[in-house]
Each structure stands twice: as structure tokens, then as C-alpha cells.
A and B are shown apart, each in its own frame.
Chain A
Amino acid sequence: MEQETRVPISLDKDIVDARQKGRSIALALGFSSGDATLVATAISELARNIVSYARCGEIVIQVIHGSPRLGIQVTAHDEGPGIHDVQQALRDGFSTSGSLGLGLPGVKRLMDEFQVDSEEDRGTTVIIKKWKR
């Protein structure tokens, strides 16, 4: 299996493409179907944030070797407007695009590890990880 899969994101069909790749990599690593669904759903949310806020960016899916477990790491990167207040964006119920406002906190709940790095006018990078159980 490829250790790294890159999916450019700019159209809504790329969202489907990215999440399907995430699912198949998770399944190939031996993740349960339930956990593969969580990974695919998280990718879908992050990829949509890229399309909605930054217009284009990239999703990178990597196999990671922790000891003793294998895991999957997803990096969602864009060079869009960035998040004005990251702490606020991580609170449930906050949204600036008229969506449900559950984006980032929801994604965090789906995964084991979650990290967001954003700078206004420079872009946003979200890194999420899920370990094989």
C-alpha cells in the first residue's frame, strides 16, 4: 500500500473522492468498517471546509506507525482565508457559513487525535489521526 495518498480538493466531487480513498485505506489497514466510516466522514467534513472557505486545497492521507499500533493520519491543508478565532471555531455551535456549526468539534469527536493550525490570510492545516483498535 502507498504510504501517502494526496487528493487535490477544489470541486464537490473531490470531497467524495477523498473520503472514498480514506475509507479504502482504512479498510486495507484492517480498521473495522465502523472506524473506516468515522475516518471517511471526518475527511468529508474537512474537504468540504476546504471547498466552502478556501475553494481549493489538498487532503493527504498517510499510514502512520505508532508503537505498537498502526494508524491513519489525514492532513487537510489550504491557503485560504484562515480561521479568525480557532478557539471559537472549536466550540460546538459556532459557524460563520450558516452551516450547522458542528464542523471542527464534530470532526474532533470522530477521531483519536486532532490538531488545527491556522493563520488569518495564510491558510489552515488540520491534522487528524485514528489508531487501529
Chain B
Amino acid sequence: MEVPILKQGDVLIATIQAALTDADILHLRTALIHQVVRSRSRGVIIDVTALDVMDSFASRTLREVAHMIRLRGAETVIVGIQPEVAFSMVQLGLTMVDVSTALDLEEGLAYLNQKFKANS
């Protein structure tokens, strides 16, 4: 299941629409990094609202994506982590330290716009 990546101005939006296999997540990582370079994006939003499980692999890979994108000078926000998913992540010990998160797509965009303004 490929994750569509939309470009909206300076921001790329990847919306996960169904459960992802490990290979799908790795594919998303590669696709996002290439697209950030190609589009000279300043921000990336990964919408995980549809994910009903975030295990150690998914969580670690998304964190890596955020760190790689930061090295490109762009900012990543993970949005839509479901309350139950958040609960199980914390139990598992996955805290996503130093990765920005927001409630939903709208808040994620607002967060990025604020960052862009502060930096310009």
C-alpha cells in the first residue's frame, strides 16, 4: 500500500491510509526524503490518523524520517496519533522524543506556518 504524498506550497503532506507493512514504511521514508529534495520543501506532515498500531519499527522509522528531513533544513510534524495508539506507545517505551507532533492536519499546518514565519 503506497502512501500518497501531496505538495501544498512549501509543505509535503503524506497521509497514511491503511495498515503499513515494514516494506511500505521504508518505502515511505525513501519517497519522502527524495521528494523533500526535489520540491525544496520546508515542511513535511505525516498523517497517521488511520494507523491503529504504531509498533517499535514504525515509530523508529518515522523518527528517522523526521531526523533526516531536519538535516535537509526542513521540519516534520507527525499528526493524528490516536489516543489508544499513544497509550500503547508509551507503555512500550516509544516516546518520539525530539519529533514534533500535532493533533491533526490543520494544527500541523498551523504549527509549520508559525515556524516558517519565525524563521523568515
Query: Which of A13, A19, A33 is in CB contact (< 8 Å) with B84?
Result: A33
B interface: dominant SS: helix
Q: How many A-B residue pairs have CB under 8 A?
A: 71
Query: Inside 8 A of B83's CB, which chain A residues have their CB?
Result: 34
A44 touches B (CB below 8 Å): yes
Q: Whole-angstrom distance between the alpha carbons of A100 and B59 in the complex?
A: 10
Query: Inside 8 A of A100's CB, which chain B residues have their CB?
Result: 56, 60, 93-94
Cβ A41 vs Cβ B55 within 8 A: yes
Give min CB distance, B40 to chain A, whole Å. Answer: 32
Give min CB distance, A9 to chain B, whole Å. Answer: 13
Give min CB distance, A105 to chain B, whole Å. Answer: 7
Binding site for A on B (CB under 8 A): 19-23, 52-57, 60, 82-85, 87-88, 91-94
Binding site for B on A (CB under 8 A): 12-13, 15-16, 19-20, 23, 33-34, 37-38, 40-41, 44-45, 48, 92, 99-100, 102-103, 105-107, 109-110
